[in-house]
């Protein structure tokens, strides 16, 4: 750092200088949080058309704070990182003061969070998957996008982060030309862009996991127990669960602009990756 960070509130200077390193960082972080909240509150008070969503505000405030308080951010987050102050952290800070319309209209859709190489909260895939795959899911989504002829997500991940050891071989094969893009599959894509394929698949599997689990052979006793309680044949329970699964598949198909078969292909692709990780 060019100069020693000191709190903007001069009343805290003496207390700050007497504090240990951890306490100083707490002071700095708390002050940064208050600055973030004040900026968001001021911006929303001027949003007369009520168009700024929570996610959009978080992005705007994060960018401005990174520009204006770089020294303080480095003091608060000393570990080297291209994004020391994360947009997700800012969003958490300002969510409690966000107007109702900002929360109600907040719908980011399916997006790769390029600020993270490894996710702090593992992605819940809704299917048995290695922990490292859940942690590195931004890379999984970016590699899938490359396979379907969109190189930008992978390019961004490599620009901002070191390539995880698990994916060194894949990236090497991309550079050498050994790994080929699925141009035929990319040509068939309709309303699900390449960079959203795996994120959409996660959402679908999360909803499908209950009916899939109950329909598995391992849960035959459970289905029979439910059937006994209702006084019906177990086949009735199975057909009801299958109908429920088809209903969800159709709902996602309509939402994503896919056929039901397209939904199945997408989720099957993610399941294969869960089984073969890191050989995607």
Q: What's the pLDDT at 219? A: 67
Residues 100 and 132 in one domain: no
Residues 98 and 121 in one domain: no
Q: Is residue 37 in a domain?
A: yes
- Count of domains in the chain? 2
Q: What's the pLDDT at 40? A: 98
Domain termination residue (choose one: 46, 69, 104) = 104
pLDDT at residue 108 greater than cutoff 90 = no
pLDDT at residue 220 greater than cutoff 90 = no
Give the whole-angstrom CA distance, residue 222 versus residue 205. Answer: 21
User: Could you tell me the pLDDT band of residue 1, with boundaries at 50, 70 and 90?
Assistant: very low
- pLDDT tens-digit readout, 198-213: 999 998 888 777 666 6
Q: What's the pLDDT at 187? A: 83
Domain termination residue (choose one: 104, 131, 149) = 104
Domain termination residue (choose one: 39, 71, 104) = 104
Q: Is residue 1 in a domain?
A: no
pLDDT at residue 4 greater than cutoff 70 = no
- The mean pLDDT of 91-108, rounded to a whole number, is 93
Q: Is residue 68 in a domain?
A: yes
Alpha helices in the chain (DSSP H): 13-18, 21-45, 54-68, 70-76, 87-94, 100-104, 131-135, 137-147, 152-160, 168-176, 183-188, 197-215, 220-230, 234-256, 260-276
User: Could you tell me the pLDDT band of residue 258, with boundaries at 50, 70 and 90?
Assistant: confident
Q: Is residue 25 in a domain?
A: yes
Residue 161 phi, psi (nearest 5): -135, 160
Which tokens belong to 90?
Answer: 């800012």
For 24, the domain range is 10-104
- The mean pLDDT of 112-121, rounded to a whole number, is 92
Residues 165 and 56 in one domain: no
User: Could you tell me the pLDDT band of residue 178, with boundaries at 50, 70 and 90?
Assistant: very high
Q: Is residue 111 in a domain?
A: no
Average confidence score pLDDT of the chain:
89
Cα–Cα–Cα angle for 42, 69, 66, rounded to 5 degrees:
80
Residues 145 and 236 in one domain: yes
Residues 140 and 270 in one domain: yes
Residues 48 and 129 in one domain: no
- Other C-beta atoms lying within 10 Å of the C-beta of residue 191: 11
pLDDT at residue 15 greater than cutoff 90 = no
Residues 54 and 158 in one domain: no
Q: Is residue 5 in a domain?
A: no
Q: Is residue 24 in a domain?
A: yes
Residues 30 and 137 in one domain: no
DSSP state of 218: G
Q: Is residue 3 in a domain?
A: no
Residues 277 and 213 in one domain: yes
């Amino acid at each position: 750092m060019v100069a020693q960070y000191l709190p903007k509130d001069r009343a805290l200077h003496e207390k700050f200088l007497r504090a240990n390193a951890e306490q100083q960082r707490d002071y700095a972080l708390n002050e940064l949080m208050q600055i973030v909240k004040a900026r968001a509150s001021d911006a929303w008070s001027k949003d007369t058309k009520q168009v700024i969503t929570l996610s959009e505000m978080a992005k705007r405030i994060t960018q401005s704070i990174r520009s204006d308080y770089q020294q303080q951010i480095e003091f608060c987050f000393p570990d080297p990182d291209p994004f020391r102050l994360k947009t997700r952290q800012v969003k958490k800070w300002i969510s409690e003061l966000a107007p109702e319309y900002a929360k109600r209209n907040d719908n980011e859709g399916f997006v790769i969070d390029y600020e993270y190489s490894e996710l702090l909260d593992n992605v819940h895939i809704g299917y048995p998957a290695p922990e490292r795959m859940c942690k590195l899911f931004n890379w999984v989504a970016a590699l899938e996008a490359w396979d379907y002829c969109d190189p930008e997500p992978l390019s961004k991940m490599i620009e901002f982060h070191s390539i995880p050891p698990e994916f060194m071989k894949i990236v090497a094969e991309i550079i050498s030309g050994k790994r080929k893009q699925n141009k035929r599959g990319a040509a068939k894509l309709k309303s699900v862009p390449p960079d959203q394929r795996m994120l959409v698949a996660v959402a679908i599997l999360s909803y499908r996991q209950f009916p899939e689990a109950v329909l598995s052979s391992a849960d035959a006793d459970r289905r029979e127990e439910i059937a006994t309680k209702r006084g019906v044949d177990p086949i009735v329970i199975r057909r009801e669960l299958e109908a429920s699964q088809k209903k969800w598949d159709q709902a996602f198909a309509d939402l994503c602009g896919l056929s039901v078969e397209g939904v199945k292909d997408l989720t099957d692709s993610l399941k294969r990756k869960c089984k073969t990780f890191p050989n995607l």
